[in-house]
């Protein structure tokens, strides 16, 4: 029963990490790039407004950062639960 509990805890932590990453990505890409673009239009970044920057490059950069963060955090989680690569 302890192994089943450990498996459930591992997958629960994994799903929390995935959900958190997806929420961050949705806020940055959809929220900043589309919904909040009019509010961000007055802030200049690289020759264009901040909302346009988030829509074109910011969401991609955040997505790449989330990939590396997810890989790093999953390696720690795998080691914590004893399912890491050897």
Instruction: Determine the Cα–Cα distance for residues 37 and 54; give it in Å rounded to an integer.
Output: 9
Give me the residue spans of the domains in the chain: 2-79
pLDDT averaged over the chain?
87
- In a 13 Å sphere around the CA of 2, the CA atoms on its Cβ side amount to 1
pLDDT digits (tens, 9 = 90+) for 27-66: 988 888 888 888 878 888 778 888 888 778 888 899 999 9
Q: Is pTM beyond 0.75 here?
A: yes
């Amino acid at each position: 029963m302890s192994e089943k509990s450990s498996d459930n805890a591992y997958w629960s932590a994994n799903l929390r990490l995935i959900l958190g990453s997806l929420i961050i990505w949705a806020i940055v890409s959809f929220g900043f790039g589309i919904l909040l673009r009019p509010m961000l239009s007055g802030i200049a970044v690289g020759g264009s407004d901040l909302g346009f920057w988030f829509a074109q490059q910011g969401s991609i950069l955040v997505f790449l950062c989330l990939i590396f963060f997810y890989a790093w955090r999953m390696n720690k989680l795998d080691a914590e639960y004893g399912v890491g690569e050897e």
